[in-house]
Amino acid sequence: MKKISERGGQKAAGRRSSCPIACALDLVGDKWTLLIVRDMHYLGKTRFEEFLASPEKISTNILASRLKTLEANGLVTKSPYGNHSQRMSYELTASGKSLAGLLRRFAQWGLENIPETATPEFKSATK
Amino acid sequence: MKKISERGGQKAAGRRSSCPIACALDLVGDKWTLLIVRDMHYLGKTRFEEFLASPEKISTNILASRLKTLEANGLVTKSPYGNHSQRMSYELTASGKSLAGLLRRFAQWGLENIPETATPEFKSATK
DNA sequence: ATCATCGCTTGTGTTTTGCAAGTGATTGCA
DNA sequence: TGCAATCACTTGCAAAACACAAGCGATGAT
């Protein structure tokens, strides 16, 4: 039985605090994870090689590890596609898709506050 | 004279691409920066020691370096306060304040998608 | 004069990242 | 049937970032 005074102030395993902002940052607060989600959401990418092709040039080991933790955290599902047993398709779950609003805020803030950010390929998708 | 085909696809110094999401992540895409902004925005913190007191327990050298780059990127201003010339007050600029919407999205996504995130002290502020 | 507070810096060891190369399971093609 | 190409990774290694603890210089209070 947990004391009432402790409820709401407890930390979940591996998290720095119970703050929803801090917890969200623990899951997607790094330089690469949200770019993978961006590629899935705005560009419809699903394959390892497609993510590698983005202009930010993520390296293969980082991509593999990020996809693994995205899957472990329930934001992405991994499944074979076509008739190739080795070829994998990564897709957003409901939780993953619900990051779209966050991505749009990032895009909006970047466009409004960072000079020379302009991406023709995203402009229509982010409106 | 720059070719039209290059415009909109160029990279600014030190950035991975011209995508506004990637650029925004270059500025605030790490585990600590947005927590400092959170403390400034939601809790009204302004001093070094106050940021250290947050439950996530940032270390002093990381805090100092993040405050320095926040200032360098024009998101925060630093000024002495009171009659102590050594005591500093950190405050959000207009660009920094405009991160509030992003923070709210983070909080909302965390509350909806991560179990056991609940912070009484933020709930009223994020509604 | 001594002590505490504030805002840091410095040193040290660990963890994470970036980069290049390689691996194994196919698949397409001659 | 052989052989190169593709895809999804893994491995190795150096560089950078991070966490932790200690210390430092300026100020103010006692």
For the segment B14-25, what is each residue's pLDDT rounded down to a tens digit? Answer: 789 999 999 999
Phi and psi (nearest 5°) for B97?
Answer: -65, -30
**B36 CB-near residues (< 8 Å, 6+ apart):** B51, B58, B63, B66, B67, B70
Return positions of chain C under 7 A from a protein CB.
5-11, 17-22, 24-27
Q: A60: how many CB neighbours lie within 10 A of its CB?
A: 11
Question: What's the pLDDT score for residue B15?
Answer: 86
Residue B84 structure tokens:
């102590």
For residue A92, what are the β-bridge partners? A76
Q: Is A1 helix (H, G, I), strand (E, B) or coil?
A: coil
Write the residue in A18, A27, A122 that is nearest to B118 by C-beta. A18
- Alpha carbon separation from A82 to A65, A68, A71, A86, A113 (Å, rounded): 24, 21, 20, 10, 43
Question: What's the pLDDT score for residue A15?
Answer: 85
Q: A27: how many CB neighbours lie within 10 A of its CB?
A: 21
* pLDDT 10s digits, A42-93: 999 999 999 999 999 999 999 999 999 999 999 999 999 877 768 899 999 9
Residues 75-104 in B contacting A (C-alpha not used; CB under 8 Å): 95, 98-99, 101-103
Checking if the pLDDT of A2 tops 80, the result is no
d(CA B85, CA A82): 68
Compare A119 and B43 and report the one with higher pLDDT. Answer: B43
* pLDDT 10s digits, B50-60: 999 999 999 99
Percentage with pLDDT > 70 across chain A:
80
Residue with tokens 């947990």: A2
Question: What's the pLDDT score for residue A116?
Answer: 74
Question: What's the pLDDT score for residue B37?
Answer: 98
* pLDDT 10s digits, B70-103: 999 999 999 998 777 688 999 999 999 999 999 9
d(CA B18, CA B21): 9
Phi and psi (nearest 5°) for A104?
Answer: -65, -35
Nearest nucleic acid nucleotide to A85, CA to C1' distance: C26
Distance C23 C1' – A64 CA (angstroms): 15
d(CA B26, CA B39): 20
Question: What does chain A come to in residues?
Answer: 127
Checking if the pLDDT of A36 tops 90, the result is yes
Residue B105 structure tokens:
């999205």
Question: What's the pLDDT score for residue A1?
Answer: 35
Residue with tokens 């092709």: A53
Q: Is A93 helix (H, G, I), strand (E, B) or coil?
A: coil
How much is the pTM? 0.86
**Could you tell me if B109 and A102 are in contact, meaning their C-beta atoms sit under 8 angstroms apart?**
yes
Q: Give the pLDDT band of residue B115 (cuts 50, 70, 90).
A: confident
Q: Do B21 and A31 touch (CB under 8 A)?
A: no
- Alpha carbon separation from A120 to A116, A123, B6 (Å, rounded): 12, 5, 12
